Structures are given as structure tokens and as C-alpha cells.
Amino acid sequence: MIPKSVLKALNQQIQKELFSAYYYLSMATHFQSANLNGFAHWMRKQYEEETNHAMKIVDFLGERSGRVVLEAIEKPGGEFKTPLDVMKLVLEHEKKVTASINAVYELAVKEKDYPTQIMLEWFIKEQVEEERSAEDVINMLKMIGDAPAGLVMLDRQLASRGS
């Protein structure tokens, strides 16, 4: 049986993952309206990943007979500036998600909830990838600076993201 404290923390993590999806969808629509369709595509993929992350926890709780309690999702911001500013927000947000997952993992260790620890190891590895991906785009944007041709090239590159 899943400890009540871990169940509560996992339900909160579901909410955070769904907020992340909503946040990235907001960014995707921003980029779409700015005619940066590659950036919009990249953000839509982020949206899909975050939704899948939430479902992974929902499914895990179902396997362990844990009750999923869905809470309201906060409205995401919708006003963004430059692509670099947006990607910095992505990285900042991913670091918050990483801290949250790490806290749930620490709770699972404290509660000796081994199945949750094993499940969360996948998320911990995923967060390393999420942060690295955002950092890569940030670094490219910094190299591009104010060069419109570079931004167009990066936009095309981001359009090819598969998952």
C-alpha cells in the first residue's frame, strides 16, 4: 500500500506536470503568433511530454490502488518576450520540476516506499534531459545574438524535433 504522504505528494506532482504542459502550450501559441513555427513545434512537444509525465504517475497510482485527486491547474503566463527570454523561463521552470521530483523521491526514501523510488528514477533521469535540452537551445540563442538568419535557422532545426 502506498503511504498517504507519498500519495499526496504524487497527486501534487500530477498537478505540477499538467501545469507544465499548460505553460508550454501557452509558450507554443506565443511562438506561433510570432511566426516562429519551429519554436512552437518544440513547445508543443514539451506540452505532450509533460502530459505523458502526468499520465505516467496516474497509471502508477492506478497500479498501486492509489486514489488520484485532480486539483485545479493555475493559469499560465501568456506574455513573453524574446525566444531567449522564453527559453530561460523554460529552464527555470524545469529546475523547479526537478526539485519537486527530488523532494517526492526523498519522501519515498523516508517512507521506505521502494516501488515509488523505482518509478521516480525514470523521472530523475528525464529531468536531466529536460534541463540539458533547454540549456542547449539557450546556448544556441546566445551564439545567434541579434542575427535574424541564425534565428531562422534555429527555428527550422527546432521544427524537426521528434519527441
115-159 pLDDT per residue, tens = 999 999 999 999 999 999 999 999 999 999 989 999 999 999 999
Report the alpha-carbon distance of residue 83 to residue 39 in Å, rounded: 8
Angle (nearest 5°) at CA 90 between 72 and 93:
50
Percent helix, strand, coil in the chain, to 5, is 80, 0, 20
CB 157 within 8 A of CB 149: no
Tally of domains within the chain: 1
Tell me how far apart the alpha carbons of residues 135 and 149 are, in angstroms, rounded to a whole number.
Answer: 21
Average pLDDT over residues 37-66: 97
Quickly list DSSP for 19-50. HHHHHHHHHHHHHHHTT-HHHHHHHHHHHHHH
Answer whether residue 162 is part of any domain. Answer: no
Residues spanned by the domain of 31: 4-157
Look at the pTM and tell me if it is higher than 0.85: yes
pLDDT of residue 163: 58
Q: How far apart are the first and last CA of the chain?
A: 34
- Between 78 and 50, the higher pLDDT residue: 50
**Rounded mean pLDDT of 46-72?**
97
Does 163 reside within a domain?
Answer: no
Structural domain contains residue 107? yes
CATH number (domain holding residue 94): 1.20.1260.10
